[in-house]
Structure 1
Amino acid sequence: MTAELVRGQNHPLSEARLEIRVSAGTPVVAAATLSDESGRIHGVEWVAHPGAPTLPGVEVSRQAAADHRLAVDLDAVAETVHRVSVLLALPTGVGGPVDFGSLAAPVVAVTGLDGTEVAGFTLTGLGPESAVVALELYRRQGAWKVRAIGQGYAGGLADLLTDQGLAQAHRLASAINEAVAQGVARSVPAPPSRTADGDRSRQTTASALGPDQAASPYGGQGAQTASDPYQGSQGNPVPQGAADAVASYSTGPADPSATTQPGTPAASGTGGPVDYSHPRRRNTAPAPPPAAPPAEPGRPAQPVAGDATGWSMDERLYNQVWGMFEDLARSTAAYRSAVDFADTRMDRELDEVLSDPRSRIGGQGDAARESARAKHAQLVDQARQVLDRDLAHLAAEADVVEPALPPAYARWDNPAWHAYRVPMEMPMALRLGDLHLPESDRLRIPMLIRLPLERGLWIDSGRTGSPDGSFLDSHELRRLALDSAVAHTARLLAVHPADEFTVHVLDPAGSGAQAFAPLVHSGVLAAPPAMGAAGVADILTRLTEHVDLVQMAVRGGAADSLPPDFDTAHQLLVVNDFPHGFDDRAVTRLRYLADEGPAVGVHLMLVADREDAAGYGPLLDPLWRGLMRLTPVPEDHLADPWVGHAWTYEPALLPPGSQVLQQVLAQVAEARRLWRK
C-alpha cells in the first residue's frame, strides 16, 4: 500500500535498492546530497549532480528533464552517510519558468525496483522558490526511513547547498547550471589542494555537534573539510522565534570517521593518504553503538539507549536525545499540516455547497455537508493514527534512554545522582529542563545545552503567560525563580571538575539568603554572597578585569604569562534581584560581562523581572536578547528552527524533600578542598 506523505511525515523503508521517480511537467535538474547525521555535507564530493552523476549508492540523471529516475542502493552508501537528500532545481540560463510557484506541483515517488510505489509526496505550497529539498532518506535506529521535506529556496541551488553546510556552494551551483545550459555533463572543479603531508597542523578535523544550536532546543563545532580546515559552525535551536534554548538543539552529530569522499579514502595532493585523525581524540574509530535486540516479525525494532554515533556513551546519548527532539518536531509538524489540509478542503467543499442556491437547503445540501465533514474526520483520524504511532515509538525510546542518562543529562530524581562522583572532565552538555508539545503532553524530551555555555542564562522571575504562574503572587514567583537558579548552579558545579568552575553570587538586598543557604553552607562558593552597592561594584570590577586580562593575553599570544595566582577556571556570576543595587556604571559592566565574558570563560546567570528594569528603557534590550530565557514554571516560550513549534519548557526541579542537592554539593566541596591541598 502506498503511503501518501505530507510535509514532515516519515515512512519506513523495507528495501535497500530503490528508485526515486520525479514528475515535474517541465525540465528540472535532479541532484542528491549525502550528509552526516547533522545534515551537513563534507564537500563537493558528497553531491551527485549532472556534472558528477554517480556516488557510492546513488546515481542521478545527467540532464535536466521533466521526468527523472534516480537509483539508490542504501546498502552501498558509506557508513558515515546518514542522510540522502533529493534536490530539485529549475535550470538557469536556458529559458523557461523561474520559480516553482508558476508550475503544477511536482510529484516525487519512492518505488521498489519492480515499480511498486512505497511512498509518494506532492510538493504543494511552493511559490518564488527555484530549488527545493524534496525528500530525504535517513537512518534511524539502524533502519532507513523516507521523510517528506518540501523545503524551498528562493535563492536557488546556491542557497540550498549553503544551508546544508557546503563551503563551495556557489561555485558548485554555477558549475551545475553551466553544465545543464550547455547540454553536456562536465566535471566540477576540484576543491583547493590540501596541505603537504608534512604539515598536519591544518588538516581536517571533525567533532561532535550539538541540539543548542535553536535552539536548539544543542550547539557545537561543525565538521570541517580538508579544503577549509578551520571552517566550523557554532549555533544556538534550537530555538528562535524565541530562539532561546532549544537553539541548543540546532545542529547534530558529525561522524569523526568521515572522509572527504564518502566510501573511499581521501588522497592528498601528492597521492598519499591524508591523516584524518582528530588531534584531541584517540585515533581509533568509535566503537559501534549497541545493537538492538532482534525484532519479532511484524513488530518494530526495540529501542536501545546510546544507538546514535559518537566516541563515548555520553556522546551517543546526547546525539540520540537530539534525534528524538527532531523526530518529535517533524512528526508533530506533519500532523498539524494534515489537519490544516483537512480543514482547508472541508471549508472549500462547504463553500461550493453554499455558493449554489439550489443546494443550500434540502436533502442535497445536507448530504454534501455531511460528506465534507466525514472526509474531514477521516483525514484527521488518519493523521492522528500516524502521529500516535510515532509517539508510541518515541515514548518507548524515552523509557529506555532516560534511565541510562549520566548525571549531567539526568533529572534530579534519576538514580544516577545517587552514584554521583565529581568528574575528571567537563561533559558535552547539561540538562536545563524538559520540552514537550501539546499533542504529546506525556512525552518529555530532555533539554540539553552544550558546554561550555555560549550564552548567559536569565531566570525570569516576573509574570509570564504560563497558566501555572497565573495563580502565583510575585513573591512566590521570585522564590521559585531563585530556587531554579540555585538548582542550575549546583548542577553546573557538579558536572565540572573540582578546579574548573568558580561561582560568585551577588545578592544586593540579601533577599536570597535562604535560597542560597545550600551553596553557602557547603562551601562551594568563592566567597559569601556580596551585598549592597559596594559588594556589587567589587565583584563586577574584579570580573571585568578578569575578562580584560584574559583577552589581552589571548590576543597577544601570551596566555602562559598570566599571574601564577590567576584563577583559570570558568567563572559563573549569579545575580539576584537585578537591577536592585546597580547604578549606571554597574549596569554597563554587567552588559560587558554578558557580551564579552562567555568567550573567555566568564558566564552570567541573571534572576530578574524585566519590568523591574523598565526604567532603563531600550538600553537593556541587548542584554535580555543575549541571554537564554528560562522560566521557573512551565511555559511555551521556546521555538525550534525547523518548523517553529512553540515548545513548553519545564524547569529541572528537585523532588520535594530530596537531599540529593546537599549530597552532591558536599562531594563537590570535598573535592575542591582536596584539590587545594
Structure 2
Amino acid sequence: MTVELIRGQNHPLPETRLEIRVSAGQPIAAGVTLNDEHGRMRDATWIAHPASPRLPGVEVSKQAAADHRLAVDLDALPAAVHRVNVLLALPTGVGGPASFGAVAPPTAAVTGLDGAAIVSYHIIDLDAESAVVALELYRRNDAWKVRAVGQGFAGGLTAMLHDQGLPEAEELAATINAAVASGIARAVAPAPPPPPAQPGQPGQPVAGDATGWSMDERLYNQVWGMFEDLARATAAYRSAVDFADSRMDRELDGVLSDPRNRVGPVADAARAKAQAKRAQLVDQARAALDRDVTQLVAESEVVEPALPPAYARWDNPCWHAYKVPDEVPMALRLGDLSLPEHVGLRIPMLMRMPLQRGLWIDSGRGGGGMEAALHDSEDLRRRAAETATAIAARLLAVHPADGLSVRVIDPTGTVGGLAPLVEAGVLAEPPAVGEAGVAATLAGLTQRVDLVQMAIRSGAGDALPPDIDLAEQLLIVRDFPHGFDDRGVTHLRYLADEGASVGVHLMIIGDREDARAYGPLLDPLWRALLRITPVPDDHLADPWVGHAWTYDPGLPPPSSGILPQILRQVAAARQRTEH
C-alpha cells in the first residue's frame, strides 16, 4: 500500500533501485542533487540536471515536462553521498508561470523498479516559489529513508543551490535554465488536434497525444497510457464477473438452503433466475470492455505506424529508413504484451534506457506455459538464441556507433542462433569459447566494473587506464551454466548486481533446470534478471493490478532481411568511427 507523506514525514525505503515519478499540471524541470552528511554539495558535478542528466546512480530527464521519471540507484552513489535531494523548478524566460502558486500542486512518488509505489507526496502550500526541494533520500545507520521536504525558494534555482552550499550557484542555475529553454525551443509542435467526433461517438485517436516535449517522449507516455488503460479496463471486467458469480452463489444459497427446495420446479426456477441475472451482468461488463478495447485498438492502429525504431515492431517500415542515432532513446521495445480477454490487442513492452536489470531468456520447458510444452528442448534453445540476437540487434541499433560493445560467451563454440551478430562483425571481440575464454571475458568485465566504480567514488574519472572501453557493455551468455565453474558463477553474480550502475549489462540464455546442481546459490542471480521467453508465455505482471500478461518476443518475420541489414549498417558506422 502506498504511504501518503505530509511535509516533514519520513519512511524507510525497502529497496535501493528506485524511480522518482513527478507529476505536474505544467511543464517543469527536474533534477537531483547529491549532498554529504552535512547537506552540502561538493561541487557542480554533484547535480544531475537537464544539461547534464546522468551521474553515477542517478538519471534525470533532459527536458522540461509535465511528468518525469527519475532513476536512482542508491548502491551506485559515491560513498561520500549521504543525502539525495529531488528538486523541481519552473522554466524561466519561456512565457510560462513564474511561481508554483500559479499552477496545480505537483506530486512526487517513489516507486520500485516494478512500478509499485512506496510513498507519494502532494506538494502543497507553495506560493511565490519557483523552485522546490520535493523529496530527500537520506542514509541513516546504513539504511535509506525518504523524507517529504517541500521547501520552496522564491529566488529559484540560484537560491536553492546557494542553500546547498554551492559557490557557483548563479552560473549553474543559468546553465540549467538555458538548457531547459533550449529544449523547449527544440520541442516539436503539439500533436494536431483530432477531428471532431460525431455526436455520441468517441474522438479519433492521434499518435503522440500525450504529455512530453518530444514526439518520442509523447509516444512513450502514450504507450504506457494504453498499457494502463487496458489493465484497468480488464480489471473492471474481471471484477464484474467475480461479482456476478458471487451474487449468483448467494442467491442460490438463499433459495436452496431449505432441503425441500433443492430439487423440483422451485430449484430449477431459482437456478434459471440466478443464472439469467449473472449472464446479464457479465454481458454488460463485456460490452463495456469491448467498447474500451475497440478504442484502444483504434489508438494502436494509429500509434504503431508512428513509432520510432526503438519502439517499433520489426515489420514497421521505419526500419527501412533507419540511420544510426546520435543519442540513446529513452526506451527500447522488448516485445509485445497481451491479455487473454483480447489477444488481438498487443501493447508494446517498452523498457527504459539504460537498462537497469539484466535479461534472462529462458530456454527451458519447465518454467514455460503451454506454448513451451509444444517445442522440444533443442527448438527452445534455438528460439532463445534468436530472441537474444533480435534484442541485441535492437540495442546496437539504438546506440550511437561507438556507444555499445557486445561480447558473447559461447562455451561450446557452436554460435547457433547468434550467428547474425558474428557474421555482421558487430561484436567487440570473437565469442569466448571454452573454460579459458569464459574466465578471461568475465575477469575483464569484472575488472572494468571495479575500476569504474573506484574512479567514480574517488572522483578520478580521468585516471582510468586508456585501454578501458568506456562504451556501454552487453555480455550475452549462451547455454548458461555450461562452461562455468564456481568462480565464473561468482563473477556473473557480481556483474548482475553491480554492472548496470556502471554500464555493464547481462543477457543470459539458459534453462534453470540445467543449473539445479548449484541449488539456492543462483537464486539471487535469477531474481536480479528480468525473465523473458522465446515463445509466448503469461509470466509478466503489470504494476497497477497485477494481471498476468502474455509476453511475445516479437521476432522479425521469417522471410525478412531487416535484421541483417540493420546489423550491416551498424557495422559500417562503427568502421567509419574507428577510422
Q: Residues of 2 paired with 1:204 and 1:465: CA distance?
A: 43
* Match of residue 337 from structure 2: 435
2:336–2:348 Cα contact (<8 Å) kept? yes
Q: For the Cα contact (< 8 Å) 2:22–2:109, is it kept in 1? A: no
Aligned amino acid, residue 521 of structure 2: L
Instruction: Determine the C-alpha separation between the residues in 2 that align with 1:570 and 1:326.
Output: 31
1:266 is aligned to 130
- Name the residue aligned to 2:368: 465
| 1:335–1:383 contact (8 Å) kept in structure 2 | yes
What are the equivalent positions in structure 2 for 1:76-475 lying under 5 Å apart? 78-79=25-26, 207=61, 209=68, 224-225=87-88, 233=110, 235-237=112-114, 266=130, 271-274=154-157, 281-283=180-182, 285=184, 286=187, 287-463=189-365, 464-475=367-378
Question: Cα offset for 1:335?
Answer: 0.4
Deviations 1:612-632 (A, max 9, x none): 111111001000000010100
Determine if the alignment matches structure 1 residue 491 to structure 2 residue 401: no
Please say if residues 240 and 285 of structure 2, whose CA atoms lie closer than 8 Å, have aligned partners that are also in contact: yes
Matches of 1:654 and 1:212, distance apart in 2: 31
- Partner residue of 2:407 out of 499, 504, 518: 504
1:479-628 to structure 2, matched below 5 A, reads 479-512=382-415, 514-628=416-530
Partner of 1:66: none
What corresponds to 2:531 in structure 1? 629
Cα separation, 1, equivalents of 2:346 and 2:319: 19
Distance 1:371 1:211 in 2: 54
Structure 1 377/202 Cα, relative in aligned 2: closer, same or farther at 3 Å?
A: same
Residues 357 and 328 (structure 1), Cα distance of their counterparts in 2 relative to 1, 3 Å cut: same
Whether contact under 8 Å (2:480, 2:510) holds in the other structure is yes
> How far apart, CA to CA, are the structure 1 residues paired with 2:126 and 2:231?
29
Instruction: Give the letter aligned to residue 515 of structure 1.
Output: G
Closer, same or farther in 2 for the Cα pair 1:602/1:202, shift >3 Å? closer
Code of the aligned partner of 2:396: L
- Once residues 498 and 275 of structure 2 are traced to their aligned partners in structure 1, the CA distance between those partners, rounded to angstroms, is 58
Secondary structure class of the residue paired with 1:296: coil
Quick one: structure 1 residues 492 and 222, their matched pair in 2 at CA, closer, same or farther if it must change by over 3 Å?
A: farther
Alignment equivalent of 1:673, drawn from 572, 575, 579 = 575
Unaligned runs of 5+ in 2: 1-5, 7-18, 29-38, 51-59, 62-66, 73-83, 90-99, 101-105, 133-151, 159-172
Call closer, same or farther: CA 1:319–1:546 in 2, change over 3 Å.
same
Q: Whole-Å Cα distance in 2 between the matches of residues 270 and 212 of structure 1?
A: 24
Q: Distance in 1 between matches of 2:248 and 2:277?
A: 8
Contact 2:130 2:154 in 1 (8 A): no
Residues 459, 211 of structure 1: CA spacing in aligned structure 2 closer, same or farther, 3 A cutoff? farther
Distance 2:153 2:276 in 1: 69
Residues 1:270 and 1:317: Cα distance change in structure 2 (over 3 Å): closer
Distance 2:69 2:204 in 1: 25
Give the 3 Å change call, closer, same or farther, for CA 270–434 of structure 1 in structure 2: closer
- Give the number of the structure whose residues are more often helix, by fraction: 2
Instruction: Give the counterpart letter for 2:402 in structure 1.
Output: D
Supply the distance in 2 between the matched residues of 1:270 and 1:492 (Cα, whole angstroms).
41
CA deviation string 1:437-488 (max 9, x = no partner): 0011110000000111101111100003322221211111101101111111
Query: For the Cα contact (< 8 Å) 2:129–2:155, is it kept in 1?
Result: no
Among the aligned pairs, what percent are the same residue?
A: 61
CA distance in 1, matches of 2:131, 2:350: 38
SS at match of 1:606: strand
Q: Deviations over 1:347-383 (max 9, x none)?
A: 0000011112443344333322222111111100000
- Evaluate the alpha carbon distance shift between residue 441 and residue 662 of structure 1 in structure 2; reply closer, same or farther with a 3 A threshold: same
Name the aligned partner's letter for residue 597 of structure 1: G
Please tell me whether the aligned partners of residues 456 and 604 of structure 1 are also in contact (alpha carbons under 8 angstroms). yes
Structure 1 residues 624, 202: closer, same or farther in 2, change over 3 A? closer
TM-score (norm 2): 0.74
Aligned with 1:666: secondary structure? helix
**Contact residue 211 and residue 322 of structure 1 kept, 8 A:** no
Tell me how far 1:237 sits from its aligned partner: 3.4
What amino acid maps onto 1:479 in structure 2? R
Q: Is the 8 A contact 2:130 2:153 kept in 1?
A: no
Partner residue in 2 for 1:478:
381
Contact 1:195 1:202 in 2 (8 A): no
In the alignment of these two chains, the number of paired residues is: 468
1:569-597 CA-partner distances (Å, limit 9, x unpaired): 00111111111111111111111111110
Q: TM-score, normalised by structure 1?
A: 0.64
Closer, same or farther in 2 for the Cα pair 1:195/1:534, shift >3 Å?
closer
Give the Å deviation of 1:564. 2.9
Tell me, yes or no, if the aligned pair for 1:195 and 1:203 is still in contact at 8 Å.
no
SS in 2 for 1:549: helix
Which of 558, 561, 566 does residue 659 from structure 1 map onto? 561
One-letter identity of the residue aligned with 1:266: S
Q: Secondary structure at the match of 1:433?
A: strand
Q: Describe the superposition over 1:162-216 as per-residue Cα deviations: whole angstroms up to 9, x where unpaired.
A: xxxxxxxxxxxxxxxxxxxxxxxxxxxxxxxx999xx998698773646999xxx
| 1:115-140 CA-partner distances (Å, limit 9, x unpaired) | xxxxxxxxxxxxxxxxxxxxxxxxxx
Deviation, 1:298, is 1.8
**C-alpha distance in structure 1 between counterparts of 2:114 and 2:324, whole Å:** 29
- Shift in CA distance, 480/200, structure 1 to aligned 2, threshold 3 Å: closer
Letter in 1 for 2:412: A
Q: Give the match's secondary structure for 1:657.
A: coil
Of 638, 648, 653, which aligns to 2:550?
648
Letter in 1 for 2:130: A
Local SS of the residue matching 1:582: coil
Once residues 313 and 462 of structure 2 are traced to their aligned partners in structure 1, the CA distance between those partners, rounded to angstroms, is 39
Structure 1 residues 673 and 281: CA distance shift in structure 2, 3 A = farther
Aligned equivalents of 2:209, 2:451: Cα separation in 1: 44
Task: Sort the Cα spacing of 1:658 and 1:405 in 2 relative to 1 into closer, same or farther, 3 A.
Answer: same
SS at match of 1:642: coil
C-alpha separation between the residues in 2 aligned to 1:584 and 1:362? 71
Rounded to whole Å, the distance in 2 between the matches of 1:223 and 1:393 is 37
RMSD: 3.4
Provide the rounded CA distance (Å) in 1 between the counterparts of 2:202 and 2:425.
51
Change (3 A) 1:295 1:356: same
Distance in 1, Cα, partners of 2:153 & 2:448:
47
Instruction: Give 1:292 shift.
Output: 1.8
Asked if the contact 2:405–2:427 (Cα under 8 Å) also holds between the matched residues in 1, the reply is: yes
Over 3 Å counting, the alpha-carbon distance change for 1:284 and 1:491 in structure 2 is: closer
